[in-house]
């Protein structure tokens, strides 16, 4: 995540400026300020509450949907003959994303001063991904910026649709599980204590299962705040741990080798790999540079590191597909199609077809997994709530039976 830095500087006119800037490190922050023609007098990481809030709000990359809209709108306006400065001004006014709006203000000023659009975007790696900046730079050099932006818009739209399919498939199971937690919590905190009071008034000996449940209910009522704090702490620790390379590598390795989830993750990685590499190849980006860009979108640290190690084989001229055969995520069909693409000189088109094929596979698999999970979630909900109810109802039935036989 990008860090927030506080700076003081002097511009060409001798005016003193100050403010905060987001950058990966202090060197990147200093380079960004100097590119604006300013002489730095003070630069330090901003660890105040304001800086931390700004880092949390603005230190994340734009969503695929936002990137698609940005590229599509910019392409349409440029294609219509609107000057680049006017395009940026319109995008700045229309943007509802505070991070993007703030970045566009600086980008507008720098482009007006003569900087290239791609050069200004490089100052915001936390907002604009590596693939986007590189392709825009190629578009500026070759004079096909509009076409590049249209390709990027299509790329980010497809990425957004893929993410939405996965989210949509998981909504129902997540909703049912959430309902189960709320129902169980309600029974433990309100329903069970009321029934227990009735049973105690009747001087009925409680079964072991009911006593255990009563202990859980008492624990939830007495230490609910503590359990909530522990849960928040565990979530924070999991988030903190996911930022550590060793833990991330172990987590990604584990998920990749799970029976069903691993297959799904593998196909998602292939889609991202092929689609990103395809658009970079279409833009004329050199293969080694393209591999660096692809690595940033895979979402699996182990596979990213393995792919980077294979760059030496590509550099030595062993052939991209032959080198990729040792990559754990690669499938036989993918390698066969890529071999055909390399030999025919149509690798970018073949990669796009591979991405489309595996995207359909992901869509079907997500749908099947969602349908497979649904009955298990419903069974879990029924068994859990039913067990809770029975531990209370059975003693009540025994009490009524005893009263009736008196």
Is 2:22 a contact under the CB 8 Å cutoff? Answer: yes
Domain harbouring 76, CATH code: 1.20.81.30
Q: Which residues contact 90 (CB under 8 A, 6 or more apart)?
A: 73, 77, 82
- State yes or no: pLDDT of 216 exceeds 90: no
State the pLDDT confidence band at 211, using cuts at 50, 70 and 90: confident
Same domain, yes or no: 51 and 77: no
Q: Which sign, positive or negative, has the C-alpha torsion 224, 226, 229, 230?
A: negative
pLDDT tens column, 252-290: 888 888 888 889 889 999 998 998 888 888 888 888 888
Model pLDDT for residues 307-364, shown as the tens digit of each residue: 888 887 778 777 788 888 888 888 999 999 999 988 888 888 999 999 999 988 988 8
Q: Does residue 149 fall inside a structural domain? A: no
91 within 8 A of 74, measured Cβ to Cβ? yes
Cβ-contact 269, 324 below 8 angstroms: no
Q: What is the pLDDT of residue 75?
A: 93
Interatomic CA distance for residues 50 and 147, integer angstroms:
40
Are residues 168 and 85 part of one domain?
Answer: no
Assess contact for 90 and 77: CB atoms under 8 A: yes
- Do 119 and 18 fall within a single domain? no
- Does residue 208 sit in the same domain as residue 344? yes
Chain centre to alpha carbon of residue 306? 21
Q: Which of 13, 33, 58 is the last residue of a domain?
A: 58
Enter the pTM of the model. Answer: 0.70
pLDDT range class, residue 49, cuts 50, 70, 90:
very low
Give the structural domain span for 90.
64-128
pLDDT at 400 over 70: no
Mean pLDDT to the nearest integer, 133-156: 88
Q: What is the pLDDT of residues 154-203, one digit of tens each?
A: 989 988 888 888 888 778 778 877 887 887 778 777 777 777 777 777 66
Domain co-membership, 52 together with 96: no
Same domain, residue pair 30 and 83: no
Q: How many structural domains compose the chain?
A: 3
For the chain, give the mean pLDDT. 81
């Amino acid at each position: 995540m990008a860090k927030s830095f506080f700076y003081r500087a002097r511009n060409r006119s001798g005016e003193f400026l100050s403010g905060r800037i987001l950058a990966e490190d202090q060197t990147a922050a200093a380079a960004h300020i100097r590119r604006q023609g300013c002489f730095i007098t003070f630069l330090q990481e901003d660890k105040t509450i304001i800086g931390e809030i700004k880092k949390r709000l603005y230190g994340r990359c734009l969503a695929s949907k936002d990137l698609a809209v940005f590229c599509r709108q910019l392409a349409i306006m440029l294609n219509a003959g609107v000057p680049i400065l006017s395009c940026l001004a319109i995008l700045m006014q229309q943007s509802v994303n505070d991070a993007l709006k703030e970045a566009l203000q600086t980008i507008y000023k720098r482009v007006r001063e003569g900087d290239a659009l791609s050069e200004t975007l490089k100052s915001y790696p936390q907002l604009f991904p590596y693939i986007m900046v590189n392709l825009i730079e190629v578009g500026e050099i070759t004079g096909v910026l509009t076409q590049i932006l249209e390709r990027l818009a299509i790329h980010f739209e497809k990425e957004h649709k893929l993410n939405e399919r996965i989210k949509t498939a998981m909504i129902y199971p997540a909703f049912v599980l959430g309902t189960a937690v709320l129902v169980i919590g309600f029974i433990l905190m309100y329903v069970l204590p009321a029934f227990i009071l009735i049973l105690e008034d009747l001087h009925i000996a409680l079964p072991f299962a009911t006593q255990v449940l009563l202990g859980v209910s008492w624990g939830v009522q007495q230490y609910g705040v503590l359990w909530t704090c522990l849960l928040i702490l565990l979530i924070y620790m999991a988030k903190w741990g996911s930022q550590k390379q060793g833990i991330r590598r172990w987590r990604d390795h584990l998920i990749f080798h799970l029976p069903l989830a691993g297959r799904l993750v593998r196909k998602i990685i292939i889609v991202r790999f092929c689609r990103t590499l395809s658009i970079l190849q279409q833009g004329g980006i050199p293969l080694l540079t393209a591999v660096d860009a692809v690595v940033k979108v895979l979402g699996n640290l182990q596979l990213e590191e393995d792919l980077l190690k294979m760059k030496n084989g590509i550099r030595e001229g062993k052939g991209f597909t032959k080198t990729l055969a040792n990559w754990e995520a690669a499938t036989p069909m993918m390698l066969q199609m890529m071999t055909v693409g390399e030999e025919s000189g149509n690798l970018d088109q073949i990669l796009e077809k591979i991405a489309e094929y595996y995207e359909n596979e992901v869509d079907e698999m997500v749908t099947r997994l969602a349908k497979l999970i649904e009955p298990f979630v419903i069974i879990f909900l029924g068994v859990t709530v039913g067990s809770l109810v029975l531990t209370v109802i059975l003693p009540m039935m025994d009490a009524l039976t005893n009263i009736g036989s008196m």
